[in-house]
Structure 1
């Protein structure tokens, strides 16, 4: 008899948990209060996962999903939840993992909010990965979280492939010519960047066709991918338009390039920047893992003297351009966070990669910095950094959550740490 019952709780990564005998079945796209019957299961990441299930009775927490691909596409695990319930559950999950009770601010816009999307181009379809199936691709016709213009972008790509005969990527054979289409939008400027990630350089007639089909783009790149890893990365070559597009968050303008990271939700970014600003004190600020200067340039615009450190030389180059563009008092340099001498700063802003600070946390502990503002979308990494390192010298003073990722279990945390007396 198939396992059947009510979803009572969520896992740390937002999956419904169904008690079955002595174990737990993790059921994607389900929420507390749902009554489900699970068919096939499979082992994945050390857990028993539902490969298919039937929703017998919906939870009162459920709302109406807008996207016709919901339930299969891996992009929006929580789109079936009412938005106010998404926020409540994100706060509860964060508290469960970190022990911190923090208010959560919702995104000002929850549809068409993403400023970047990476559409995988495969023999099985063009779109986004199927949830739980590494070889499955959902052949998209729309994406309600990215852009109203998604059908236009996908139509242009399909017409371009049809005319040129270029081969989509084969996920099983790890072979083919075109692997990803990356599209970035300046939500507040209206500018568009199109970047095709391919395993071959374009012949002149192919490049010309690419320019024709994507003539609406303000910036047009062809990125050469020289290895078979399944990610949207390559060495970009500008084929048309401007080398950067711009995004404007209130009074700050940022340059965006295919090889630089930028927060994916332009509408909620202002909330995140103001949260960081609210926890920043003094005059001198150290911006570790500074990237393109997202936080540093914003704070410099508000009168702080900022020094940023970033490992990626190209990101530092873009950060310096952002300084010039916004005419602010900030310096950015190339360096490893864990090797950075931390001198006389009033506040240190840290926005580490998903793995967390690790060794860099000990430098902060030994420093004289009074206040640390820790920004993270990975609460487990923050907890480890705090419990293993930062707790020796800092106490948690305050925290706020910003929903940068509607319809997913993820949330961005800004935690204020004050040095213990």
Structure 2
């Protein structure tokens, strides 16, 4: 996922999309399979319960946290009665039920995390696209200290009773506005160079923002963002010896190895040849366009965020770029093309875009996705237009969370 407007994030950073209805009810259940979204499926008296902090095959005691839906409830594990061999003690003291909503797989061994993610990708491809895929998520180090772009929430207590107004910095609990203070060690997955909790509190005390963003670029000092002006600062990122300028508040992959891995996978799949024509769609600041242009291809990129396009033109002067939503720019694309890199937002490209791209006759398409359900839906649509998935790779670019990144190769059937 390489668009500036759709950076993958942990759930602690995500907006609360549905209100929770907490209860005090406790139920004992046997945990079923993992599901898309970081939880496992259990049943109690015929009702589905989506359980966080559980593992398949475990017997657990669950506190129901949301019973507002008729078809299902949500719950958190409060006691493990029979543990899975993959269960480990979370390395962060604020992980787990009632804690930070971000690292939802800290209770799982590294191998277990990859198996769970592989099962989710396998199930989504099978269920939504009818594609049989041998489950394998490739390990990517490091498992901690990898997140180069982190958002911290800030709460500013009132002084109605004459108390201190010292702000508190932390992460939001899952599906909640409740703030969980950072542990003394700071965020476990934040990259080296991220300010300490004390330093973040000092930053918060100097401003009025309810959020602090920290960017640790490949080159240069970390950037702390609390204002629009700070977000406009340019940072330097690298991939394959190619430098990229990115706004501090713009999008770049959060794992320090992600850009190299995804570009490498896409280029290996496409086998680009100098002189061919190529499209880099949802191109952000031109990551894939740079790799394609460096190999001598004639490249056009499309991105809807104008400020990202302006940087892409500087980053990859050999390529041409269009600033527009892709669905509105389809008529501006060439009538035929040799290869395509497609890296849509979390919701996927959609039927209109897929149908048009399939008509361009590309010999190979590399589809990059951070959501396996969206990937599967679009692969199904490509299949309806004469393209098949010849290869699919998955990478553990978000360790300790349920997120996973995939790259698929599509060729004419």
**TM-score range relative to shorter protein:** 0.7 to 0.9
Pick the aligned partner of 1:157 from 195, 200, 203: 200
Corresponding residue number in structure 2 for 1:231: none
Listed as ranges, the gaps of 5+ residues in structure 1 are: 167-176, 197-221, 223-235
Pick the aligned partner of 1:194 from 224, 249, 254: 224
Tell me whether 1:237 sits opposite 2:229 in the alignment: yes
Shift of residue 107, structure 1, vs aligned partner:
1.3
SS at match of 1:38: strand
Length-normalised TM-score, structure 2: 0.81
Cα distance between partner residues in 2 of 1:10 and 1:70? 19
Cα distance between partner residues in 1 of 2:264 and 2:203? 42
Cα distance between partner residues in 1 of 2:315 and 2:88? 41
Shift of residue 44, structure 1, vs aligned partner:
5.6
Residues 1:356 and 1:416: Cα distance change in structure 2 (over 3 Å): same
Corresponding residue number in structure 2 for 1:334: 323
Tell me whether 1:265 sits opposite 2:290 in the alignment: no
Compare 400-409 and 337-346 and name the one that shifted more. Answer: 337-346
Residues 1:65 and 1:252: Cα distance change in structure 2 (over 3 Å): farther
Shift of residue 2, structure 1, vs aligned partner:
4.1
SS at match of 2:210: strand
Pick the aligned partner of 1:178 from 161, 185, 209: 209
Residues 1:249 and 1:388: Cα distance change in structure 2 (over 3 Å): closer
Shift of residue 51, structure 1, vs aligned partner:
4.8
Shift of residue 97, structure 1, vs aligned partner:
0.5
Cα distance between partner residues in 1 of 2:68 and 2:80? 22
List aligned pairs for 1:62-211, cutoff 5 A. Answer: 62-71=87-96, 72-99=99-126, 100-102=132-134, 103-123=136-156, 125-132=168-175, 134-141=176-183, 142-150=186-194, 152-162=195-205, 164=206, 177-186=208-217, 188-189=218-219, 191-196=221-226
SS at match of 1:183: strand
Shift of residue 161, structure 1, vs aligned partner:
4.2
Provide Cα deviations, 1:302-352, integer angstroms capped at 9, x if missing partner: 33332111111111011122125xxxx322221332232343311111111
Pick the aligned partner of 2:61 from 26, 37, 44: 37
Is the 8 Å Cα contact of residues 109 and 267 (structure 1) preserved in structure 2?
no
Compare 380-389 and 108-117 and name the one that shifted more. Answer: 380-389
Residues 1:127 and 1:179: Cα distance change in structure 2 (over 3 Å): same
Provide Cα deviations, 1:266-287, integer angstroms capped at 9, x if missing partner: 2233111110111113422111
Residues 1:80 and 1:44: Cα distance change in structure 2 (over 3 Å): farther
Compare 396-405 and 6-15 and name the one that shifted more. Answer: 6-15
Cα distance between partner residues in 1 of 2:112 and 2:64? 29
Listed as ranges, the gaps of 5+ residues in structure 2 are: 1-24, 127-131, 158-167
Shift of residue 156, structure 1, vs aligned partner:
2.4
Shift of residue 238, structure 1, vs aligned partner:
4.3
Is the 8 Å Cα contact of residues 62 and 78 (structure 2) preserved in structure 1?
yes
Provide Cα deviations, 1:39-89, integer angstroms capped at 9, x if missing partner: 344226763011562122321011332211111211111111111111122
Length-normalised TM-score, structure 1: 0.80
Is the 8 Å Cα contact of residues 43 and 49 (structure 1) preserved in structure 2?
yes
RMSD (CA atoms): 2.3
SS at match of 1:98: helix
Shift of residue 149, structure 1, vs aligned partner:
4.2
Residues 1:11 and 1:258: Cα distance change in structure 2 (over 3 Å): same
Cα distance between partner residues in 2 of 1:276 and 1:11? 27
Residues 1:54 and 1:396: Cα distance change in structure 2 (over 3 Å): same
Compare 372-381 and 112-121 and name the one that shifted more. Answer: 372-381
SS at match of 1:3: strand
Is the 8 Å Cα contact of residues 34 and 119 (structure 2) preserved in structure 1?
no
Corresponding residue number in structure 1 for 2:15: none
- Runs of 4 or more off by more than 4 Å in structure 1? none
The number of residue pairs the alignment matches comes to 361
Shift of residue 153, structure 1, vs aligned partner:
4.2
Is the 8 Å Cα contact of residues 289 and 316 (structure 2) preserved in structure 1?
no
Cα distance between partner residues in 2 of 1:344 and 1:41? 52
